[in-house]
Copies of this chain bind each other. A is one copy, B any other.
Amino acid sequence: MKVITRFMLPFLLPFLFSTSLLPAEEGMWTFDNPPVKLIQQRYGFTPAAQWLEHVRLSSVRFNDGGSGSFISPTGLVLTNHHVAMGQLQKMSSEKKDYVSDGFYARTPAEEVKSPDLELNVLISMENVSARVQGAVRPGMSQEEALQARKAEMARIEKESLDKTGLRSDVVSLYQGGEYWLYRYKKYTDVRLVFAPEKQAAFFGGDPDNFTYPRYCLDMAVFRAYENGKPVKSAHFLKWNAKGAADGELVFAAGNPGHSDRLRTTAQLDTLRDFYYPYALNSLKRRVVVLRRYAAQGTEQARQTTDDVYGLENAVKAYEGEYQGLRNPQVIAKKTAEEAEFRKKITASLAWQREYGGAWDAILEAEKKYRENFKQVRLRQVRGSEMAGVATTIVQYVAEVAKPDAQRLDGYHESQLESLRFQLFSSAPFYPAMEEALLANSLQESLEGLGAGDPFLQAALDGRTPEAAAKQALDGTRVVDAAFRKSLIEGGEKAVAASADPLIHFARRIDPVLRARLKWYEDNVESVETAAGEKIGAARFAVYGKSLYPDGTFTLRLTYGSVKGYAMNGTIAPPRTTLYGLYDRSEGFDHKPPFDLTPRFIQGRERLNLAAPLNFVATLDVVGGNSGSPVINRDAELVGLVFDGNIESLVGNFVFNEENNRAVMVHPAAMLEALRKLYGAAPLAEEIEGRK
């Protein structure tokens, strides 16, 4: 079952923890603390409270890893094709491929319900730092302190849920410097209205991914329903077909998934020397497995589409980040900034006493982590969604039997509804593909840990990875949502009694997974949470609240302007046009991934080729921001974030305004394509508010 992890986010990017004044254009700001002064200084514009509220309530989080926005009073939600792709894949079957063929619902009746898409709208934010941090009592061990914090967070969430009925998440910001309660309106009846063919959305494929100039119609339109009827969205962004001019101030509102800008150098060293090498190796193995599986036939290839996209996307993002971390200038910058920060702390006796030890505490924890990195990383199943679901079921029934405060993360009372929504999804599974992935994952763990490791003993039970995977998946009923439901409802007893081979497999590995998690919490997470809180507080003491927190897949506002940049010896233009799409396809003799779909070939004469297709701005976005609306001062939609350029990948650690760019789809091209290529003029009219 999918959890928002780094590599599942559509794309990943940047921050500069500047020791002095932040350079403008930087930052993924929370809506409670927008950088109004900076914006006013640079652009003479101050977003009013009402403006901010309107933008926030028009913004939508796609819970399977992206962002979006309401664009009509009739519940239309705009996002990227690549954000929608997970649902498109789940809607598809051997007979109908929504991913490759695209889709347009001419009438509401034709709209297709997403199997397990949950949208969130951020309704309110409340600072609960005092409660969470206050839960830690003097004399508690660090392990106890961590549990106390978690218990308090679960309590806050449950109270809020009970009181408001809204999804309630406590979020740790500034590495624990603050804790906030975010309440969301949830939509789980979300129907597909329009998606282009993947080739039109993702023209240029993996080579062009994370680069610019680009020529992608990376859009999709859903409609949110409530009680079987389209949502009457009071807040939505008005469409501006002209887009934004070169140099114009623009904003993006979205959910940056993750960034590492506030990490200590000790943590960065671990990322560079352990995390990235292991992760890249893992991802690349999985691509090989899926490509081999896909080579078996058209249907097998279709099954892998979304996963291959996600994996290749992650490989490219990670390689950019990894390269950034190995750049001596980046490391030198980070080291200098940390030294400067620590020097300021040392200069005050009180600060030094309160915060001074935090960095070394993290360093010590990281050292332990590095020593055990292989075990933490490889004592789990990666890549097989079915094995993940089975493990979740086994843990679910055990956890819900406990008091809320004592449960594992992910199984707290406030989290169960969304979790069940995912678990009971009608999306299809492909056991043959899962088997290949599971075998590969076990093989990778075996190579790294050896057969004597407790994880392998539990998972393999003396068999080869292939045999273990085959046995676990042969005849399992986990593919059946009703079966999953029966286990969840049957509780511990039903799960314990199940003879299902995959449930059996999950039961065997569950103790090892728990032990692994406990080791990590006791030795790393507990230490770094406490130390992180201290560093967060120290940062506020030294720099005030002139900084923004790292990405946490919660709603943020970023600002900047439409702007080309120095690239490869010349200048990248502020925007591209439909001309460029045809140029690039011709330039490669229309060979994949630079081929045009029949619609684009046949419809060329009808198009205004000068229509802007993609554009760039100095917006500070990272993975999770995909699908974010780009808006002007009048809160009109002037673009749709879908990527960052190659120079933005180092932005996971440092933001460089010179060449870090967000890449957007232009509203003009979206309308042009809807009207002239997809026969979707009614949708264009609805989007433009003419219907």
Question: Which residues of B lie under 8 Å from residue A573 when comparing CB positions?
Answer: 584, 587-588, 594
**Beta-carbon contact of A583 and B589 below 8 Å:** no
Q: Which of A100-108, A146-154, A206-214, A292-300 contacts B (4 or more CB under 8 A)?
A: A206-214
**Beta-carbon contact of A589 and B246 below 8 Å:** yes
Bound Cα distance from A567 to B213, whole angstroms: 12
With A204-B570, A587-B574 in contact, do A579 and B609 touch (Cβ < 8 Å)?
yes
A57 to chain B, nearest CB (A): 34
Question: Which residues of B lie under 8 Å from residue A316 when comparing CB positions?
Answer: 569
A582 contacts partner chain B, Cβ-Cβ < 8 Å: yes
Bound Cα distance from A594 to B572, whole angstroms: 12
Question: Which residues of B lie under 8 Å from residue A586 when comparing CB positions?
Answer: 575, 577, 579, 610, 612
**Beta-carbon contact of B569 and A210 below 8 Å:** yes
**Beta-carbon contact of B646 and A568 below 8 Å:** yes
**Beta-carbon contact of B587 and A582 below 8 Å:** no
A56 to chain B, nearest CB (A): 32
Bound Cα distance from A397 to B14, whole angstroms: 68
Residue of B nearest to A573 (CB): B587
**Beta-carbon contact of A207 and B580 below 8 Å:** no
**Beta-carbon contact of A211 and B570 below 8 Å:** yes
**How many A residues, CB 8 Å from partner?**
35
Question: Which residues of B lie under 8 Å from residue A204 when comparing CB positions?
Answer: 570
A564 contacts partner chain B, Cβ-Cβ < 8 Å: yes
With A204-B570, A211-B568, A570-B208 in contact, do A576 and B587 touch (Cβ < 8 Å)?
yes
Within 8 A of B (CB), among A70-125: none
With A577-B587, A580-B583, A582-B577 in contact, do A568 and B568 touch (Cβ < 8 Å)?
yes
Question: Which residues of B lie under 8 Å from residue A609 when comparing CB positions?
Answer: 579, 582, 609
A332 contacts partner chain B, Cβ-Cβ < 8 Å: no
A571 contacts partner chain B, Cβ-Cβ < 8 Å: yes
Question: Which residues of B lie under 8 Å from residue A594 when comparing CB positions?
Answer: 573
Bound Cα distance from A210 to B570, whole angstroms: 9
A592 to chain B, nearest CB (A): 12
Give the contacting residue for A587; candidates B213, B567, B568, B584; CB below 8 A.
Answer: B213
**Beta-carbon contact of A646 and B569 below 8 Å:** yes
Bound Cα distance from A609 to B208, whole angstroms: 23
Bound Cα distance from A587 to B609, whole angstroms: 12
Residue of B nearest to A566 (CB): B207
A189 to chain B, nearest CB (A): 39
Bound Cα distance from A13 to B594, whole angstroms: 31
Within 8 A of B (CB), among A400-445: none
Bound Cα distance from A519 to B586, whole angstroms: 58
Residue of B nearest to A204 (CB): B570
Residue of B nearest to A588 (CB): B573
Question: Which residues of B lie under 8 Å from residue A645 when comparing CB positions?
Answer: 569
Give the contacting residue for A569; candidates B211, B577, B579, B580; CB below 8 A.
Answer: B211
With A246-B589, A582-B577 in contact, do A570 and B207 touch (Cβ < 8 Å)?
yes
Within 8 A of B (CB), among A516-562: none
Residue of B nearest to A578 (CB): B583
Question: Which residues of B lie under 8 Å from residue A588 when comparing CB positions?
Answer: 564, 571, 573-574
Q: List 10 contacting pairs A-B, 8 Å CB cutoff, sorted by A.
A: A204-B570, A211-B568, A213-B587, A569-B646, A573-B594, A577-B586, A579-B583, A580-B584, A582-B609, A583-B583
- Smallest CB-CB A-B distances: 9 pairs: A573-B587, A569-B646, A580-B583, A579-B583, A211-B569, A211-B570, A207-B570, A579-B582, A577-B586
Given contacts A211-B568, A568-B646, A577-B583, could you give 17 more A-B pairs where the C-beta distance is less than 8 Å? A204-B570, A207-B570, A207-B571, A211-B570, A569-B646, A570-B646, A573-B584, A573-B588, A575-B587, A577-B586, A579-B582, A579-B586, A580-B580, A580-B583, A580-B584, A580-B587, A582-B610
